[in-house]
Amino acid sequence: MKTPTHVAINYLISQKWPMKKALQRSFLLGGAAPDVPILLLFCTVGLLYPDGVVDQFSALYDYNLWVVGIHNLLHSPVSLLLLWIINLFFLGNRNAFNFFLLGCLSHSVVDVYTHVNDGPLLLWPFHWQATFVSPLSHWNPDYLASYVLIVEGGIILLAIVYWLAKRIVAGTGLGYLP
């Protein structure tokens, strides 16, 4: 799915799972963070190769080991589990980085099911090819992308309505997001 949808999903989850505001912010950030390296790469490639951005980006995304690694650091469920174990060992259970990693895991799980053949590497860094082949794609029209787009729009709309309703009931106006 697209990055704003991941943030909306994490927002809706965070409203039903009690957590402190700082932990909630970390969880929301985890919804967006896995896509940041690829977004930055795409923008950089676009500036360097404006006429061949898609070809250049695809070559890097599919074959450059550094790009694959950076992309899957916060996308791969195994990588996220390893980071969580390391964090637990050093900082304990209820800290902001754990909630950030949980937000990334939410992002990863959704991506596994909405990417046909370009989803997260499930076993990275131990295996650099294993992906789940989903029957859905958030961008490829051959794999029901128009329906996924409708679901994404519904999720974002639901998050906005929930956020506005919460503000109206609390009488706080349109202040801070969570």
Quote the CA–CA distance of 178 and 167 in Å, as a whole number: 10
pLDDT digits (tens, 9 = 90+) for 72-85: 999 999 999 999 99
Note the pTM of the prediction, 2 decimals. Answer: 0.90
134: DSSP letter: -
Quote the pLDDT of residue 2: 95
126 half-sphere exposure, CB direction, 13 A CA radius: 8
pLDDT digits (tens, 9 = 90+) for 88-135: 988 877 789 999 999 999 999 999 999 998 899 999 999 999 999 999
For the chain, what is the mean pLDDT?
Answer: 92
pLDDT digits (tens, 9 = 90+) for 30-59: 999 999 999 999 999 999 999 989 899 999
